[in-house]
Amino acid sequence: MKVCVIGSGYVGLVAGACFAEYGNHVICVDKDSKKIEDLKKGIIPIYEPGLSELVLNNHKENRLGFSTSIQEGVEGSEIIFIAVGTPTSEDGSADLSAVYAVAEQIGKSINGYKVIVDKSTVPVGTAAKVKEIISKNTKHEFDVVSNPEFLKEGAAIDDFMKPERVVIGADSERAGALVAQLYAPFVLNGNPIIKMGTVSAELTKYACNAFLATKISFANEIANLCETVGADYEDVRKGMGTDSRIGRQFLYAGIGYGGSCFPKDVRALIRTSENFSSSLRIIREVERVNEDQKVRLYTKIEDFFGKGQIKGKTLAVWGLAFKPGTDDMREAPSIPLLLKLHEEGAKIKAFDPVSKETSEYYFKGKIEYAKDAYDALEGADALLLLTEWREFREPDFSRIKKLMKGHVIFDGRNQYRPDHMKKEGFKYFSIGKQSV
C-alpha cells in the first residue's frame, strides 16, 4: 500500500519505518528541512534501539522516502497518517495547532479518496474537528480514522511490529477496513484488531496511559508508607503482582514517571474532563503524587547531610533520561531533583549513556558531564542512581568505594539490595526499603 506519514518525530518515524519494512511504500513528511535532509543521509534524529537500521535499510530499498512537501505525500498515498506533536498547553490541554494546520494542508492537497488517520495522541473530538477542517478545503471524498499508538520508548520497534492490539476508531466501514488491511501483517499471531468509533478510540489511548500512571503513583504511595511502618516494598510488590487481577507491570517504586506520554496525557485527560464537566478525582491525585515523588530523594539527601549542608557537596549522578533505552529527557524526574540540588549549592557530575545532548537543554551548564560512570564518582560525597540503565546494575563496588570521598548511595530506582550495600560498606537509601 502507499502510505504517507506527516511528522517524522518519534511516533511518525517508527511508524513509517515499520510500515516500509512490511513492503509498503512510505513517504515521511516533515516541515523541518534539516531533519529531512539528515534522514536522506542516514542521520537519525532520535535514539531508539533498532530504528536506525530499519530506516537505513528501507530507504536503501526505496520503500521509505522523505520529503518536506505535504502535497507530494498526500497525492501519492492512499492512507495519510498525522503524527505531529501535541505538546501540553499552559492550561494543561493538548496543543492541537500542528494537527489542525496539517489537516488544512491535507485538504488542499487531496486528489481522490483518502483515509486520514490521527496517529498523534489527541483528545476526544479531534477526529471530528480534523474532518471539519479538511471538508472546508476539498470537495473530494475522504474519511478520518483514529488509530492511537501504544509504543514504549526503548522498545518501540518491537511494540509496533508485534502489537498486543491495534485500535482502529472509524465511523466508516470502508475506511476501517482499509486501515485494518494495512495492519493485518502485524497481527498474524492472532492478537486482535479492535474496531470502534473515533471518540472511543481517542479516549482509549488516554485511559490506558492514565491507568498505567495510576499504578505507578499507587506503587510509590505504598512504597513511601512501607518506609514509615518498617515494611519492605519489594515484598509487598511481589505479593501484589502475583495477583492476576493486578499484574506485575508498572508496580515498581521509584522517583516517578516522566517522558513524552504519561505526564502530557494525564494533564490532557484532566483538561478534557473539565471541558465536559466530568470530574476525574483519582487522576488529579495521580499527577500530584508523581510531582511530589520526583523530589523525594531530595528530602533523603537533605536529611542525611543536614538542612543547609548540601552546599559544596559533590554529587555523582548515574542516569538522566526518564527511562533506560532512550535519550528522551521530557519530564524526566532527574530535572527537578538536580535543579533543586544545584540551587542549594551542590556540585553535580553526571553520566548517562545516551542523553548528554538532549539533557543540555534542561540543565544549561548547571551540571558537569562525566566521560563514563566511574569518572562521575571521583571525589563524590554521594552517588545518586536516577535511571536504571543495565550497565549500572552490577557495578564494581570496590572501585566505587575507592573513587568516592563519601560512601553513600541514594538509589532512586531500587536497583541494589540493602544487605549487599551494608556488606560493601555503603550507607544506602532507596524507595520503599529500610535505610542502611
Hunting for cell 519492605 — which residue is that? Answer: 232
- The rounded distance, in Å, linking the Cα atoms of 316 and 382 is 6
Contact yes or no for 271/91 (Cβ under 8 A): yes
Q: Where are the beta strands (DSSP E) in 178-229?
A: 193-196
Nearest-10 Cα torsion for 159, 161, 166, 169: 100
C-alpha cell at 88: 501540553
Residues ≥6 apart with Cβ < 8 Å to 147? 81, 117, 118, 119, 166, 167, 168, 169, 179, 201
Q: Is 261 a catalytic residue?
A: yes
Hunting for cell 474532563 — which residue is that? Answer: 273
Contact yes or no for 83/12 (Cβ under 8 A): yes
Residues ≥6 apart with Cβ < 8 Å to 255? 293, 294, 296, 297, 333, 337, 386, 412, 413, 431
CA-based diameter of the chain, in Å? Answer: 74
Query: Which is catalytic among the residues 4, 18, 226, 261?
Result: 261
Positions annotated as catalytic residues are 261
